[in-house]
């Protein structure tokens, strides 16, 4: 329902001249006082925008959609925000500042883990807004948000270091990002539990990440630039860089950085050192580039999965091999990870259904193996644990200096195993 106070045609009955608001006579209709806007109108608009951006994606939401969700008109919304870009900026800013405030206010690690578990459930969806939709922010604001999040991870690393002073700074930072990833992992699925149990599970997983025992780096300084730092994002070691592959690599990088809808064929051509029209010699349409990337991702992941399932051992040993295969895949295909997370809805219908089915089957495999390794576990809890493991890996390989650690693969396996054992 439209709010009368915000409607450009709010009906009121004018008072007679000289009456100064009094009724014109015994039979006159009293003037109706204008309705007041709710004091939390701006927050309600931001809440609605956050849900819509999370569920549909920024490009698929209009100002009218947000206004309708609040029950006001689009012109009324413009009284509070300049437009959709302003809405996104405010939503992401609020999300990131809330995360930073929670880490800065915590007096110790246990207090933070207890409160953050509940907050992650209340703010479910926040991670999607940063990781998927913040790409559409201006560069300057996006850099500011990165700085704030890095500071939050630093604060959390300080809490971890106060409890574990023997940890090197690089390891504290890695575990801090792992904790934040665990807490944000429920943004990417809709599995739920009764509130108290949900908080217990999330606190247990976050605690397992914060207190994970990390091994000794195998190659000296863990912060040194290693193979992971020099690997071209989205490159495929087994393939020659043909012109076709150069175009595909440039397209995947841009799709990951800006989003599929924000990239033109001219952008891709410029990034690949070719004219936009020349791309059509290799890929008839822009969606064909996205399809090729998603197919490539599926092939690479399936190959690693097949190898993981071949060996003998207990269900947990098989699960560990599956974890190692996924870590290897993520380290070598950071751009494809971003596309699998954010761009599947841009595929044509047939390819989208196929890709989503492959995702469901892959997650179901993880869930089945986890259930065999941890018999008696609630399947819903198993899905939450698996999502936390995969989200930690996905985020770590795409987060700043973490990707430069020469030992990142081994450390991610250790964190993943800690989560699987704690689940």
Is 289 in contact with 234 (CB distance < 8 Å)?
no
Question: Three-state secondary structure along 169-204?
Answer: HHHHHHHHHHHHHHHHHHHHCCCCCCHHHHHHHHHH
- Kindly give the interhelix angle for 109-122 and 195-210, rounded to the nearest 10 degrees: 130
Is 41 in contact with 80 (CB distance < 8 Å)?
yes
Q: What is the pLDDT of residue 295?
A: 94
Residue 103 phi/psi, 5-degree rounding, is -75, -40
Query: Percent of the chain beyond pLDDT 90?
Result: 71
pLDDT in tens, 174-183: 999 999 999 9
Is 325 in contact with 305 (CB distance < 8 Å)?
yes
Is 80 in contact with 42 (CB distance < 8 Å)?
yes
Average pLDDT over every residue of 328-347: 92
Q: What are the residues whose beta carbons fall under 8 Å from the beta carbon of 241, sequence distance 6 or more? A: 249
pLDDT in tens, 99-136: 999 999 999 999 999 999 999 999 888 888 888 898 89
- Cα radius of gyration rounded to whole Å, the chain: 25
Q: What are the residues whose beta carbons fall under 8 Å from the beta carbon of 309, sequence distance 6 or more? A: 318, 321, 322
Which two three-digit tokens encode residue 137? 């922010």
Quote the CA–CA distance of 239 and 247 in Å, as a whole number. Answer: 13
pLDDT at 199 over 80: yes
- The angle subtended at Cα 18 by Cα 17 and Cα 21, nearest 5°, is 85
Lowest average pLDDT, out of 163-167, 244-248, 274-278, 304-308, goes to 274-278
Is 163 in contact with 125 (CB distance < 8 Å)?
no
- Average pLDDT score, the chain: 86
Q: What is the pLDDT of residue 275?
A: 72
- Structural domains in the chain, CATH included, are 1-11+38-81 (1.10.10.60), 101-208 (no CATH), 218-422 (1.10.357.10)
Is 393 in contact with 327 (CB distance < 8 Å)?
yes
Q: What is the pLDDT of residue 187?
A: 92
Note if the pTM is more than 0.85: no
pLDDT at 7 over 80: no
Q: What are the residues whose beta carbons fall under 8 Å from the beta carbon of 213, sequence distance 6 or more? A: 414, 418
Query: Percent of the chain beyond pLDDT 70?
Result: 84
* Percent of the chain that is helix, strand, coil (3-state, to 5): 70, 0, 30
Q: What are the residues whose beta carbons fall under 8 Å from the beta carbon of 249, sequence distance 6 or more? A: 232, 234, 235, 241, 272, 335
pLDDT in tens, 249-265: 999 999 999 999 999 99
């Amino acid at each position: 329902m439209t709010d009368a106070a915000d409607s450009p045609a709010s009906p009121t009955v004018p008072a007679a001249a000289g009456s100064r608001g009094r009724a014109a006579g015994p039979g006159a209709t009293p003037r109706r006082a204008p309705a007041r806007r709710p004091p939390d109108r701006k927050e309600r608009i931001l809440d609605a925008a956050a849900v819509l951006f999370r569920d549909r994606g920024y490009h698929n939401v209009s100002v009218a959609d947000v206004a309708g969700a609040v029950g006001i008109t689009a012109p009324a919304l413009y009284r509070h925000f300049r437009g959709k870009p302003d809405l996104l900026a405010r939503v992401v800013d609020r999300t990131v500042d809330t995360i930073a405030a929670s880490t800065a206010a915590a007096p110790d690690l246990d207090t933070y883990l207890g409160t953050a578990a509940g907050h992650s459930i209340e703010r479910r969806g926040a991670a999607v807004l940063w990781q998927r939709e913040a790409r559409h922010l201006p560069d300057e604001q996006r850099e500011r948000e990165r700085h704030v999040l890095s500071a939050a991870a630093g604060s959390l690393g300080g809490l971890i270091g106060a409890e574990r002073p023997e940890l090197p700074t690089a390891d504290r930072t890695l575990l801090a990002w792992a904790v934040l990833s665990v807490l944000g992992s429920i943004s990417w699925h809709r599995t739920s539990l009764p509130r108290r149990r949900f908080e217990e599970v999330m606190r247990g997983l976050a605690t397992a990440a914060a207190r994970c025992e990390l091994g000794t780096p195998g190659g000296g300084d863990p912060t040194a630039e290693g193979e992971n730092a020099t690997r071209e994002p989205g490159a495929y070691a087994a393939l020659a860089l043909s012109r076709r592959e150069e175009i595909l690599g440039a397209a995947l990088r841009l799709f990951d950085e800006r989003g599929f809808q924000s990239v033109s064929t001219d952008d891709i051509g410029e990034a690949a050192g070719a004219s936009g029209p020349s791309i059509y010699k290799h890929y008839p349409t822009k969606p064909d580039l996205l399809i090729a990337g998603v197919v490539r991702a599926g092939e690479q992941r399936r190959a690693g999965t097949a190898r993981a399932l071949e060996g003998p051992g207990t269900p947990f040993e098989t699960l560990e091999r599956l974890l190692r295969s996924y870590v290897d895949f993520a380290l070598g295909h950071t751009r494809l990870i971003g596309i699998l997370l954010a761009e599947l809805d841009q595929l044509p219908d047939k390819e989208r259904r196929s890709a989503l089915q492959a995702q469901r089957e892959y997650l179901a495999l993880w869930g089945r193996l986890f259930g065999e390794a941890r018999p008696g576990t609630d399947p819903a809890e198993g899905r939450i644990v698996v999502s936390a493991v995969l989200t930690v890996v996905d985020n770590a390989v795409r987060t700043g200096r973490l990707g430069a650690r020469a030992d990142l693969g081994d450390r991610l396996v250790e964190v993943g195993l800690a989560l699987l054992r704690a689940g």
